[in-house]
Structure 1
Amino acid sequence: MPHSTQTKIAKGAIWMILFRLIERGLGLISTLILARLLMPEDFGVVAMAMSFIAMAELLSAFNFDTAIIQNQSATHDHYNSAWTCSLLLGLCITLLMIALAVPIATFYRRPELTWVVVALAFGPLFTGAQNIGVVAFLKELNFRREFKFQVFRKLISFSVVVPLAFLLRSYWALVVGILVSKLGGTLISYLMHPYRPRLDFSKARELLFFSRWLLINNVAGFLKERGADFFVGRMTGATSLGTYNIAYELANLPTTEIGAPINRALLPGFARMSSQVAVSDAYSNAVGILALVTLPIAASIHALAPYLVPLMLGNKWLGAVPLMQLLAFNGVLVLLHSSICAVLIGRGFPARAMYANLVYTVMLLLLLAGIFLHDRSVGVIGAAYAALLTSLLSTPIYLHQLHRCLGLHPLLFVKIAARPVVASACLILMVQWITPSYYVGMSFASILIWFVAGSIVALCTYLVAILLMWHVAGRPAGAEQILRQRMIKEWSQRFKLRTSSNQV
């Protein structure tokens, strides 16, 4: 792979991580404010409506932008055809969801859902009308402009939903926030890129042919993340669903917000690589770094969740604690799965990614059905166990697809993750030994002090454990060495810059 492409991928990953930090920072602030103002039931009502709307979107989501990114010779006809198909599909989804609003409300036994579904049904139409020209930001590895586009869209949503939450104190604040985010993103897309699409079906068949696997992959990916919503919402109600959704979001927040932008940068980069060996080396290093960073984050969430939830959300959300402890590790496995899919799609194997996600989906739905049909009283904790168990059992399927397409042996990933796994286990044991058990009635100051103390203990324990094992192993090449060299290089550059500025 040319050095310039490697550099662009590295810079792209940094830009995408920066965007996700800003986006999720705003999202986290928004979630914390909304969680204080609204009830778990409010989040559950919106999740019920969005579960069907998001499924309808993905049933028609052919990922035309991915097809254009993967096709290095895409023309204006490809862009126009992609925009035309997206617009028409968005319109069809809007009309379909309006027609199904009453049946959806009946399914969940919540009459108030009817108008929520009708309102949210316009979201797919807004998204379908988005300027297809912004895909060029990723295709051309222009991540700086992609960063600006995504940040502006998030700022619009944040500036609307938080004031509305104070004003309305109901789930309608969430509904309006979602719609404004989608409409704002579409308007900004035309301001950010000069391309003006027009109706054109000349390349529709070609795009649909490539994207047919991505369609199935998207449906499987949706059920992978949101399949539990249908069971939890139907069997246990809006309050439990709202608790599960917040726990899922917070538990996955650190790992997905590190991994998702890297995957977003890797996909167009891998599409440009010409050497299979370069892909294997680059991906092995990326997974090593992800394991080194995300595993201790998941372990910290597991250990500190009893303090994290009351500190951030309040005691009315304490039901999210055991869910977060399970879903944190599920998030690490799902991140590994998504990175594998990004590589497979980028290298032109979308069917392999689809197959792995499809197996995961079938396994998850069977486990959820079995758990809830056997004993409905298990509630949301059963859904969390089902998600974690499915991620564990399906991981060999993803690794097999990677081995088949890129030649990476599954044992390589065991070797990569060994030291981070052991160090993370030490982290959990040390934090649980140091911190006392949380109890209702503990003062806010005590919660904050023990959370901060636990976080410091977690960081120090992990760093000492991982560095000790690395030195004992003979300081082998891998993620630890890459991060160490990168940090030394950064410090060296900063020192030289300070020295030169002082001399001037």
Structure 2
Amino acid sequence: MGAEVHSEAPVGTRAAASAGLLVASRLITRCIDLITLSLLGRLLTPTDFGVVAIAMSVIVIVEAVMEIPIGVALIRVRDPTKRHYDTAFTVGLLRSCALMAIVTALSWPIAELYKDERLIGLIAALGTAPAVRSLGSPRITECTRRMDYRPVVFLEAAGKLMSLVLSVVIAWCTGSYWAIAVGTIATPLTIAVASHIAFRYRPRLSLAEWNEFSAFVRWSTINQLVGAMNWQIDQLILGRMASRQDLGRFSMASNLASLPTQVIVVQLLNPLTVAFSLIRDNPVRLKDAYRASAAMIVCVGLPVLIGLALAADPLIRLVLGEKWGVISSIVSFMALSIIPSLFVAPLSPLLMSLNRTHALFPIALSELLFKMPILLVAIWLFGMEGAVAMRMLTAVFVAAVSMRAAQQTIGWAAWKQVAEHWRTIVAGALMTAAVHPLLRDLEHEPKIILMATNLVGAVLLAGAVYTVAVLTLWLLAGRPAGAEAKILNLVRSFIRSFIRR
């Protein structure tokens, strides 16, 4: 028993430290994204964003069809050799060539469908972004295997900075939607080039180890395809049934609402596939690890999403300007609609670590079949507002299906997957009650400086109320093992390491 506990500590500690680093790094890169969005939002119009949104929806779906998560497959290989890396690079190159051919072929019929000739060149150009994403050095997975994400952080930051500079310069000089396209291409291109500099690899074409990846890749590709349809179907339908201006507003609202999950949730999830794989042969530890990771994600993600929903109006007016103020209610609703997914966020890494990627397909397919007919009717009757309302309805449905899948996998009852987060939910409600009156007063504040100052004060108050409430409820509950204990341990470790320095 002692040996087991001892062996567990390094895995949990490394996973938590890696997640902390990834959250911090993604916070930096998303701040760069936010600066880019803010500047482009002031230099371009909602119609510009609407045109690019249609093209990007097509690209995302085609990329998902051609998606080969070879990096994740490499991580699962215990001792990868040069032959594995050669196979990974070759598959990526073949994927890039096929993707570019398909995207170019689709550009004209898509432009005809949407009656917009601008989409021909735009779709063809944007296809280079996912194409070059497959051409990075496969040896970058070595640091992921060690849970050392510092090189990845550096590469992503370099890509985002290049995107910021190029897109803003082009938008300033031309006022064209091509600024968004160039920025989109710049990030993966910079990362791919820099990865070969940081992780030396001499390419050699080979498919010698394809059998090592084939089963995993097959199911991941199917899941990605259905998942991409789920992510993009509302924008595709809106692009056909609503104006480019409404689509641009919807796209911008969606990007802003998803920022917290990209900054926090995705980064907390990244180390979990590796961490779960290390203990997948121990069902008890695996269940405990899943519960702990879910608790951490809900504890951190819930207050951030609630805060974004509450502060959407002053935040958007500060960041994007008054012309985007109309999307504040959309951002608020979209942020709240993401909350149900927090409770089941670790399910995908769990199933991947157990080599049960195929179990994700029924969840994704049920989501698509559920939302497609209702979404068509909702957009037809209510336009953009109907698409927004569908986000919440679909999120609740998918969360319920995912909880059922988690119950079947690790034996954790669905109702417990919500009830065990009661401290976080209560603390979030108390935070809302404390800051809602303050933020409501900012909705009509004309002075930018005063609005910004009061917004910062409301955010600090919200953080203080939530923290005190969570810790108080945790103490009253008898200090159970959970997110609070893990966060406190991480804070203590950070303070100790800082003092030693």
Distance 1:473 1:430, change over 3 A: same
The counterpart of 1:108, out of the listed 114, 117, 134, is 114
Contact 2:272–2:349 (8 Å) recurs in 1: yes
TM-score calculated relative to the size of structure 1: 0.91
Residue matched to 1:60: 66
Secondary structure of residue in 2 paired with 1:18: helix
For 1:140 and 1:454, the matched residues in 2 are separated by: 40
Candidates 168, 174, 178, aligned match of 1:168: 174
- Verify the 8 A CA contact 1:153 1:185 in the aligned structure 2: yes
Change (3 A) 1:180 1:435: closer
Residue in 2 aligned with 1:442?
446
Shift of 1:321: 1.0
Distance 1:104 1:77 in 2: 40
Tell me which of 260, 272, 275 is aligned to 2:278: 272
Q: Is the counterpart of residue 14 in structure 1 residue 20 in structure 2? A: yes
Q: Could you tell me which amino acid in structure 1 is paired with residue 94 of structure 2?
A: L
Residues 196/108 of structure 1: CA separation in 2 closer, same or farther (3 Å cut): same
Deviates more, 1:426-435 or 1:158-167: 426-435
2:98 is paired with a residue whose SS is helix
RMSD: 2.2
2:4 alignment partner in structure 1 = none
Runs of 5+ in structure 1 lacking a partner? 499-504
Q: 2:375 and 2:19 mapped to 1: Cα distance? A: 35
Q: Aligned runs of 1:371-382 on 2, under 5 Å?
A: 371-373=378-380, 375=381, 378-382=382-386
| CA deviation after TM superposition for structure 1 residue 337, in Å | 4.1
1:430 Cα offset (Å): 2.9
| C-alpha displacement of 1:458 | 2.2
One-letter code of the match for 1:232?
L
Q: Greater shift after overlay, 431-440 or 68-77?
A: 431-440
1:294-313 to structure 2, matched below 5 A, reads 294-313=301-320
Do the aligned partners of 1:302 and 1:428 also contact (CA within 8 Å) in 2?
A: no
> Residues 72-103 of structure 1: CA distance to partner in whole angstroms, max 9, x if unpaired?
24433332222212211211111121122121
- Name 1:429's counterpart in structure 2: 433
The Cα of 1:341 is off from its aligned counterpart by 0.7
Task: Say whether 1:237 aligns with 2:263.
Answer: no
Q: How far apart are residue 455 of structure 1 and its match?
A: 2.0
User: Offset of 1:27 from its aligned partner?
Assistant: 0.9
Match of 2:97 among 91, 113, 116: 91
Taking a change above 3 Å as real, the CA distance of residues 272 and 434 of structure 1, as seen in their structure-2 partners, is same
| Kept after mapping to 2: 8 A contact 1:53/1:97 | yes
Instruction: Give the Cα–Cα distance (whole angstroms) in 1 for the partners of residues 377 and 128 of structure 2.
Output: 35
Contact 1:307 1:447 in 2 (8 A): yes
2:393 is aligned with 1:399: no
> So what's the TM-score if we normalise by structure 2?
0.92
Matched, 1:386 2:390: yes
Moved more, 268-277 or 298-307: 268-277
2:226 matches 1:226:
no
Cα distance in structure 1, aligned partners of 2:396 and 2:228: 18
Match of 1:452 in 2: 456
Residue type matched to 1:213 in 2?
Answer: W
Question: Which deviates further from its counterpart, 37-46 or 352-361?
Answer: 352-361
- Counterparts of 1:205-354 in structure 2, within 5 Å, are 205-273=211-279, 274-354=281-361
Equivalent residue in structure 2 for 1:126, among 115, 129, 132: 132
What's the % identity of the aligned pairs? 27
* SS state at 1:141 partner: coil
- Tell me, yes or no, if the aligned pair for 2:57 and 2:236 is still in contact at 8 Å: yes
Q: 1:21 to 1:452 in 2, by over 3 A?
A: closer
Q: 1:478 to 1:231 in 2, by over 3 A?
A: same
Q: Is the 8 A contact 2:49 2:177 kept in 1?
A: yes
1:266 CA displacement: 1.3
Rate the CA distance shift 1:356–1:26 in 2: closer, same or farther, 3 A: same
Q: CA deviation at 1:55?
A: 0.7
State which drifts further: 102-111 or 430-439.
Answer: 430-439
CA distance in 2, matches of 1:89, 1:489: 44
Q: Secondary structure at the match of 2:415?
A: helix
Q: Decide whether the 8 Å contact of 1:344 with 1:352 is kept in 2.
A: yes
Could you tell me how far apart the structure 1 residues matched to 2:496 and 2:274 are? 31
CA distance in 2, matches of 1:421, 1:176: 42
Distance 2:135 2:468 in 1: 51
C-alpha contact 2:298 2:421 (8 A) present in aligned 1: yes
Point out the more displaced range, 300-309 or 423-432: 423-432
Is contact 2:379–2:385 with CA below 8 Å preserved after alignment? Answer: no
For the 8 Å contact 1:64–1:82, the answer to whether it is kept is yes
The residue aligned with 2:165 is 159
| Per-residue CA distance 1:320-353 (angstroms, 9 max, x = gap) | 1111111112223334444211221122211112
For residues 150-198 of structure 1, the C-alpha deviation after alignment (integer angstroms, 9 at most, x for no partner) is 3233232223222222222211111111222222222112111122232
In structure 2, what is the Cα distance between the partners aligned to 1:282 and 1:268? 12
Residue 51 of structure 1 is matched in structure 2 by 57
Structure 2 contact 216–355 (Cα < 8 Å) conserved = no
User: CA deviation digits over 1:374-428, x for unaligned, max 9?
Assistant: x1xx222221211111111121211122222222232332233212222222322
C-alpha distance in structure 2 between counterparts of 1:85 and 1:23, whole Å:
29
Structure-2 residue corresponding to 1:467: 471
User: Which residue identity does 1:469 align to in structure 2?
Assistant: L
Question: Does the CA contact (< 8 Å) of 1:256 and 1:331 recur in 2?
Answer: no
Partner of 1:501: none
* Aligned amino acid, residue 430 of structure 2: C
Match of 2:365 among 358, 362, 366: 358
In structure 2, relative to structure 1, the CA distance for the partners of 1:490 and 1:139 (3 Å cut) is closer
Q: Name the structure 1 match of 2:202.
A: 196
SS in 1 for 2:346: helix
Greater mean deviation of Cα atoms: 143-152 or 53-62: 143-152
Amino acid in the other structure paired with 1:317: W
Q: Per-residue deviation at 1:286?
A: 1.8
- How many residue pairs match? The answer is 494
SS, match of residue 410 in structure 1:
coil
Alignment partners' CA distance in 2, 1:409 and 1:471? 25
Report the equivalent of 1:502. Answer: none
Q: Structure 1 99/137 Cα, relative in aligned 2: closer, same or farther at 3 Å?
A: same
Could you tell me which residue of structure 2 aligns to residue 481 of structure 1?
Answer: 485
In 1: Cα distance, 2:97 partner to 2:345 partner: 29
Q: Distance in 1 between matches of 2:99 and 2:443?
A: 47
Contact persistence 1:259–1:339 (CA under 8 A)? no
Counterpart residue identity of residue 26, structure 1 = I
C-alpha deviation, 1:35, in angstroms: 1.0
Q: Distance in 2 between matches of 1:391 and 1:154?
A: 30
